[in-house]
A and B are shown apart, each in its own frame.
Chain A
Amino acid sequence: MTSAVLAPDRPALARRSDRGGGRPLTRGAALGLGMAMLWFSLLVLIPLAAVVVTAADGGWSHFWDSVTSPQTAAAIRLTVGTAILVTLVNIVMGTLIAWVLVRDRFFGQRALEVLIDIPFALPTIVAGLVLLSLYGPASPIGVDIANTRIAVFLAFLFVTLPFVVRTVQPVLAELDREAEEAAASLGASRFTIFRRIILPSLTPAIAAGAALSFARGVSEYGSLVLLSGNLPMRTEVTSVRILGSIENDNLEGAAAVAVVLLVISFAVIVILDVIQRRMVRRG
């Protein structure tokens, strides 16, 4: 059972069919496409464009001042830095978890499968509360990291848990075992087999999962509200900073910082698209 609740590699399939496949639009389908595009524009494209336009309205210097003010710059540094750190942990732990779920077999494995999807389905505010109950002031193990930067790290780690696991798992499950057996029979050590045969086939999936996990970390908000204390210059992340500007009715400033996050989101989408096309080309 690969209950791939998240299957971020899935759209790769969609893109496979966009070269040759499909028939030309019929009149009804064209009408449907028009309505879908209208809805998608009203809901997603126009609002996101409004963020960019609002940020640009104030001019470049205003944008630059908003983004580089000490408090905002500190928030962006903390967010991006922590997201990178968490992504590195996820690359190692996610691959290891996927490996254990696919190649090992033991009692309780299905429970672990469910555990991995919980961070995805759990409301983020509840995620914060959940972490606070083990790592907060009332911790039964005496670890209180609330209101510190470690709390930000932990919250990111929690909400990004499924991404690398769920992208690597299906690829690992479909991997051809013959090459590994051949290498083993030729005397390769298990580490060599992993590094030379398994890892290269997993790399695109790991990269895709890492990109998603980075994007999710950078945009995280809900789980930090109760956990990190949102102390300016110390534990305040970019999303909290944007919310602060919105609440002070400084929509231009909020939009300027939001553009930074949008650029990161777009970059991740582009990276994913490139990785997926490469995966499809390889077959």
Chain B
Amino acid sequence: MADRTATVRTRRGPLTYVFRLIVAGYLVMLVAWPVALVAKNTFADGLTDLRTILTDPDTVHALKLSVTIAVTAVVINTVFGVGISLLLVRYRFPGKRLLSALLDLPISVSPIVVGLALVLVYGGRTGWFGPALESAGLQVIFAVPGMVLATVFVALPLVIREVVPVLEEVGEEQEQAAHSLGAGAFQTFRRITLPAIKWGVVYGVVLSLARSLGEFGAVKVVSGNVLGQTRTATLVVEEKYLNFDKGGAYATAFLLAMVAVACIVVVSVIRPREPR
């Protein structure tokens, strides 16, 4: 909002300051102070807690597993998200509105329900497809594929939400020009469309990454939470806290929080000010 500075209210009543104070106080009490305390608790014993979790093979395994699952989920969601955004914006087909509404559904479904839904379909014993997949040698639930599915599910709309508005704003004149000059569909996408929507895709990816790394409930249901195998970083936080290893819980939470905050800061810094 570059023009906002130009239209700043010139007369400032006492109410302006009251509002400012209320908002700042509310955000400090609800977000800033609690988050800062986690950092403080992490470093209460200097670097010992961080060093302990980073040398514990099970925690390191959990951190690596979280990163692997998150990256896989982000790649899947980026390909699917960009593809479906192109289809939604550039083409017309029956059921488009329904699809576009359904794509928002994962945001409002409880992670536990997501986990349950996947278990009911892909569960090894009683799932709809699970037994068949298992006899074909693919275990989904209580294994990494199920955890990837759960993570992809919860982060599904994020790339689409970022890319669709950019695609609409860019318009398709350039694509049509490229097409009329003889460029193929793939060439047009790579040379014209992709550079134009680049930043939308980047924001979507960063947000999906934050969301995917942090997924807890859905992964908890489908993972079985086996130490050293299917336990992710967020599950480690719970397990350590409940086992009275508060230092370890705070240290792991701190690492996760750092990634989340970094993602938010990256998005807010690289998002260009709106041109209007």
Which residues of A come within 8 Å of B, CB atoms? 1-3, 5, 7-8, 10-11, 13-18, 21-26, 28-29, 32-33, 36-37, 39-40, 43-48, 50-51, 54, 93, 96-97, 99-106, 108, 110, 112-126, 129-131, 133-135, 140, 157-158, 161, 173, 177, 190, 212, 215-216, 218-222, 225-226, 238-240, 242-243, 246, 251, 254-255, 258, 261-262, 264-266, 268-270, 272-273
B260 within 8 A of A: yes
B24 lies within 8 A of A54 (CB): no
* Cα-based distance from A248 to B138 in the complex (angstroms): 25
* Cα-based distance from A264 to B242 in the complex (angstroms): 31
Task: Decide if the interface of chain B is mainly helix, strand, loop or mixed.
Answer: helix
Q: What does the 1/0 interface line of B132-168 toward A look like (CB < 8 Å)?
A: 0000000000000000010011001000011011001
B178 within 8 A of A: no
A123 lies within 8 A of B109 (CB): no
Query: Which one of B45-53, B85-93, B191-199 is at the A interface?
Result: B85-93
Report B179 CB to chain A, min CB distance, Å: 11
A96 lies within 8 A of B19 (CB): yes
A36 lies within 8 A of B80 (CB): yes
Which residues from B are CB-within-8-Å of A255? Answer: 116, 120
Q: What does the 1/0 interface line of B242-276 toward A look like (CB < 8 Å)?
A: 10000001100100110011011101100101100
Question: How many A-B contacts are there with CB distance less than 8 Å?
Answer: 327
B19 lies within 8 A of A134 (CB): no
* Cα-based distance from A283 to B156 in the complex (angstroms): 28
Please name 21 pairs of A and B residues whose Cβ atoms are closer than 8 Å in the assembled complex, sorted by A: A5-B267, A11-B103, A13-B165, A17-B168, A24-B93, A36-B83, A36-B84, A45-B102, A50-B117, A117-B268, A121-B210, A123-B214, A126-B253, A133-B41, A177-B7, A219-B109, A221-B110, A221-B111, A251-B120, A255-B120, A258-B116
Which of B24, B88, B264 lies at the interface centre, i.e. has the most chain A CB atoms within 10 A of its CB? B264
B109 lies within 8 A of A48 (CB): yes
B237 lies within 8 A of A129 (CB): yes
Supposing A126-B237, A218-B110 touch, asked if A50 and B80 sit within 8 A by C-beta, the answer is no
A125 lies within 8 A of B237 (CB): yes
Chain B contact residue count (CB 8 A cutoff): 106
A14 lies within 8 A of B164 (CB): yes
Which residues from B are CB-within-8-Å of A118? Answer: 31, 35, 260-261, 264
B101 lies within 8 A of A273 (CB): yes
* Cα-based distance from A117 to B119 in the complex (angstroms): 31
B215 lies within 8 A of A123 (CB): yes
Q: What does the 1/0 interface line of B2-45 toward A look like (CB < 8 Å)?
A: 00110111000101100110111011011111110110010000
B92 lies within 8 A of A21 (CB): yes
- Not counting A51-B113, A102-B1, A112-B27, a sample of 14 additional A-B residue pairs whose C-beta atoms are within 8 angstroms of each other reads A5-B207, A11-B103, A13-B168, A14-B165, A22-B96, A23-B90, A36-B84, A51-B117, A122-B260, A123-B260, A129-B249, A131-B34, A221-B111, A255-B120
B102 lies within 8 A of A44 (CB): yes
* Cα-based distance from A277 to B192 in the complex (angstroms): 31
Supposing A36-B80, A126-B214, A239-B111 touch, asked if A15 and B116 sit within 8 A by C-beta, the answer is no
B108 lies within 8 A of A10 (CB): no
Supposing A10-B164, A36-B80, A96-B19 touch, asked if A133 and B115 sit within 8 A by C-beta, the answer is no
Residue of B nearest to A33 (CB): B87
Candidates A23, A134, A246, A269; contact of B115 at CB < 8 Å: A246
A130 lies within 8 A of B217 (CB): no
Supposing A122-B214, A124-B214, A126-B237 touch, asked if A1 and B108 sit within 8 A by C-beta, the answer is no
* Cα-based distance from A197 to B31 in the complex (angstroms): 32
B7 lies within 8 A of A262 (CB): no
